[in-house]
Structure 1
Amino acid sequence: MSMLVAKNWLLARLYEQDQVIVDCRFQLGKPEVGRQAYDAGHIPGAVYLDLEADLSGPVQAHGGRHPLPELTALEERLSRAGIGPQTRVVAYDDQGGMYAARLWWLLRYAGHEQVYVLSEGFSAWEAAGYPVNAEQQVVIPQTFTAQPQRGMWADVSEVREASAAGAHGALLVDSREAKRYIGEEEPIDARAGHIPSAVNRFWKEVLDERGAWKSEAELREHFADIIQEAEEGRDVVVYCGSGVSACPNVLALHHLGYTNVKLYPGSWSDWISYEENPIAVGN
């Protein structure tokens, strides 16, 4: 089954008992906005998980702006949301799937395979006339036990090795906007540029002009050169600013069948926290 599901697919299964729908809406810099949007109206039965309170750990000297949560904390939050070992999880947001993909990645990293992302956001669901309500879901807690998949991510030492090895190491993919990648503009982090040897694939390019995820054929065309490298056995390591907007690129490549694709969770904000790490600018 695809890792992306259409809104009519979810509508047909809206009230199935083995399913948890998760609203992941969030706005950087305004962390209260996502919860407020959920409280105002959401897909019936959905629970809310917050990027910073639920899907990230506390910020420290290293690890980036949205560090991975400790596994015990993640287990507790997922259990409290009603997610157990047999639960089918469908995540959505209204930001192109960036935050929903973060939950998808965390669940896959924790060993849970039944997790999917809605291929269009909440606005498309609402515009289609599909049901929306503001009711607070009564959640029956489950017991989620993580089985961490170490092959899902790369740490800073692995990224250093890949960067130094260039074409002979893992392929690094920067998911940020081109202006940030080349170092022309950096609105968030303290230093501009990219990790040496990385190529650029802005994450929003997985979406079509309507803001929905592109078809498999379109995604294959978009990632053609990266797919070629992956098919030749080269590992792919994807990063962004803080390990969130890289997740749609990771999801897209896994969706196409490429499992040798990893996330660098700390991403650029972790990379620049080490003064000795080199920085490249330009293309």
Structure 2
Amino acid sequence: MLFRNFRRNAIGALLSLSLLATVGCGDTVTEQRCTSESQELCEARPLNSTVFITPQQALEYRDAGALVLDARSLEKYEAGHIPGAVHTLGGKEFQDELGLVIPDLVALTETARNLGINNDQKIVVYGDNISSNTGRLFWTLEYLGHGDVYFVIEGYETILAETGEEPATEATVPEKGDFVVALRDSVWASAEEVKEAAEGTKPAILIDTRREGEWYGDEDRGDPRQGAIPNASWYYWENVYDETTGKLRPKDELRAEFESLGLFEEDTLIIPYCQTGVRSTIVYAVFRWLGHNNVKNYDGSWAEWSRDNDLPIVDHEPEASEPTE
């Protein structure tokens, strides 16, 4: 049974029927996909095509009024952060106990507003230099319907080094925002469509972004089943970074690599996944940056897939090395 989607739809339907849950600023839940009575606000804002910005651009956006969100740990934030940045849990504040986006639109809206998120304000997200949490926060905000989110993939230390910005230690307390959640299903992959892709009945490219041990089923993350989703290809998420510099590899280099591996086809749906849809968001963001317009993150990922015995799995065997003389 695809319990995650049942739960998501059931709660959405209850919210739609009630029409009673007030979320502030005069907005009420009127349909499953949105938390406003305004038809205009109930449409996800168009996605920007920029995706990644430089450290210098991040400060320019901040100075022009953008909201800056820090996806690092609270300990690191308190030790020093970009002045004006608001601390977040790296997207975890929007997740349920299994690590998936909660299906409660009112709670999602309230959480976003408490971070200071507004409908018509740019958002800049940053974290550690190689940080899947920052990717998760970036993808979550796009899924919730915001279209003006920008990702500083280089990370906090690089921002300081390249801009000379002096860190702040006093926490930024944001004013409550007015953001209205309007779920963008075009970036959210369901278990049903992943199952269709796994069975070959839906044209799609599945990308497993986990560690090699997880892909082969040797690393136990506490799930009831180990292995991989059938018909998926393995590409470790950290491979998008340069091993020497830790920075994102050049655009043309990454695209050429994905094409050579058969992972980049213009008109084919791309679905990356991992354990709980966190590491896979880096690959999601990279494909968006490369100009692919049909990429979805599988939010449920292995945490959901492994718990549904009706969903198929495959056990991969490591390639045997050639004997040496």
Pairwise TM-score range, normalised by the shorter structure:
0.7 to 0.9
Q: Any residues of structure 2 matched to 1:1-283 within 5 Å, and which?
A: 2-17=50-65, 19-25=66-72, 34-51=73-90, 53-57=92-96, 59=97, 65-69=98-102, 70-94=104-128, 96-128=130-162, 129-165=164-200, 169-209=203-243, 210-225=245-260, 229-231=264-266, 233-282=267-316
The one-letter amino acid of 2:64's match is E
The one-character-per-residue Cα deviations of 1:206-227 (angstroms, maximum 9, x if unpaired) are 1112222222112212321467
Work out the CA distance in 2 between the residues paired with 1:134 and 1:250. 32
Instruction: Give identity over the alignment, percent.
Output: 30
Aligned residues: 266
CA distance in 2: counterparts of 1:72 and 1:200, whole angstroms:
37
TM-score by length of 1: 0.87
Deviation per residue, 1:170-214 (Å, 9 max, x gap):
211111122211223334534321001100111111111222222
Equivalent pair of 2:105/2:181 in contact (CA under 8 Å): yes
| Residue identity matched to 2:99 | H
* Whole-Å separation in 1 of the counterparts to 2:224 and 2:79: 35
Rounded Cα–Cα distance in structure 2 between residues aligned with 1:14 and 1:262: 28
2: CA distance between counterparts of 1:13 and 1:171?
A: 35
Q: Which ranges in structure 1 are unaligned for 5 or more consecutive residues? A: 26-33, 60-64
User: In structure 2, do the counterparts of structure 1 residues 228 and 278 end up closer, same or farther at CA, with 3 Å as the change threshold?
Assistant: closer
User: Rg larger in 1 or in 2?
Assistant: 2
- Deviation for aligned residue 1:230: 2.6
CA deviations over 1:64-111 (Å, ceiling 9, x no partner): x31112332222122111111111111011151311111111121122
The residue matched to 1:230 in structure 2 has which SS? coil
Query: Which sections of structure 2, spanning at least 5 residues, go unmatched?
Result: 1-48, 318-325
Which structure has the higher relative contact order (CA within 8 Å, separation 6+)?
A: 1
Q: Which residue of 1 aligns with 2:323?
A: none
SS at match of 1:5: coil
Query: What TM-score, normalized by structure 2, do the two folds share?
Result: 0.76
Shift in Å, 1:265: 0.3
